[in-house]
């Protein structure tokens, strides 16, 4: 077990989740795996991980993890001297989902609006003419086709995507506000100073409160609830990429075996290769 470890969950078979604990400074396969715990409950994690020698647990200095409260509880109980680092990817993804929710809600409104317009035209014995924007998209198409545009930075857009984005923001200003909030949040993670990042995050939270966007307010609440662990990222800019890489190796290993029929035997082979 190294001084920097990672903890994450993975599905091995039939949707059953397992919690994987691994050493972050190991490359290749051998020596990565510390523990595999069936389930994600904090009590189960504590029961299994407490079997690790206390001296080794006390030597751990940093743990990267997601926003799971059960993982956080287990780590705080067992690794007393380790700093917990909430993975950057999960925090940014939460913000991106809030932005996409604004687009999805607007799309459902447009679908409902179109259905009602078609019904009224049918009752009046008239044909319904679909509204189109200058780029040829209908409102439904514009909102559906803008999904991946919103994940990109403006300088990454192609010429067609620039036209579509301009049309989208002109028709739906609320989506533009959500996109700009998302961009500002991503920019904060480019810094390296913990104190400066804390100040910028507080400014962003105040801006969210002024915007009145309920989805971003949920993100702001999550930031406050995981404040110290999120800011710990800026100490060493540590991420949970190691755990995600191990998850990919597990899935490839599972695919090479054509799936998992005997879970215990699979775990036996898994620990022989990775432990």
Domain residue spans in the chain?
A: 4-87+239-274, 91-229
Residue 197 half-sphere exposure toward CB, CA atoms < 13 A: 22
Does residue 241 carry a pLDDT above 90?
no
pLDDT tens, 76-93?
Answer: 999 999 999 999 999 999
Q: Give 167's pLDDT tier (boundaries 50, 70, 90).
A: very high
Comparing 160-164, 173-177, 270-274, the range with the smallest average pLDDT is: 270-274
**What percentage of the chain reaches a pLDDT higher than 70?**
100
CB 17 within 8 A of CB 11: yes
| pLDDT at residue number 218 | 93
What are the distances in angstroms from CA 108 to CA 141, 144, 203?
12, 10, 32
| pLDDT at residue number 243 | 86
CATH code of domain 4-87+239-274 = 3.30.420.10
As a whole number, mean pLDDT of residues 244-269 equals: 84
What are the distances in angstroms from CA 247 to CA 152, 211, 241?
25, 38, 10
| pLDDT at residue number 200 | 96
As a whole number, mean pLDDT of residues 63-80 equals: 94
Does residue 198 carry a pLDDT above 80?
yes
């Amino acid at each position: 077990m190294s001084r920097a470890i990672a903890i994450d969950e993975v599905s091995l078979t039939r949707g059953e989740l397992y919690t994987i604990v691994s050493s972050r400074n190991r490359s290749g396969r051998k020596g990565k795996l510390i523990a595999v715990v069936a389930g994600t409950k904090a009590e189960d994690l504590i029961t299994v991980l407490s079997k690790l020698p206390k001296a080794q647990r006390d030597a751990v200095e940093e743990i990267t993890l997601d926003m799971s409260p059960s993982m956080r509880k287990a780590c705080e109980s067992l690794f007393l001297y380790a700093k917990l680092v909430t993975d950057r990817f999960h925090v940014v993804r939460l913000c991106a989902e809030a932005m996409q929710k604004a687009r999805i809600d607007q799309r459902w409104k447009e679908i409902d609006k179109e259905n009602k317009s078609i019904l009224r035209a049918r009752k009046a014995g008239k044909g319904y003419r679909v509204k189109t924007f200058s780029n040829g998209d209908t409102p439904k198409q514009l909102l559906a086709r803008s999904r991946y545009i919103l994940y990109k930075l403006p300088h990454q857009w192609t010429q067609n995507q620039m036209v579509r984005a301009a049309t989208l923001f002109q028709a739906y200003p609320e989506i533009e506000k959500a996109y700009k909030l998302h961009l500002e949040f991503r920019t904060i993670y480019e810094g390296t100073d913990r104190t400066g990042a804390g100040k910028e995050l507080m400014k962003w939270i105040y801006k969210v409160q002024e915007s009145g966007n309920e989805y971003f307010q949920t993100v702001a609440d999550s930031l406050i609830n995981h404040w110290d662990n999120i800011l710990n990222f800026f100490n060493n800019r540590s991420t949970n990429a190691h755990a995600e890489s191990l998850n990919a190796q597990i899935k490839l290993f599972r695919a090479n075996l054509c799936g998992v029929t005997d879970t215990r035997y699979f775990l036996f082979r898994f620990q022989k290769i990775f432990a």
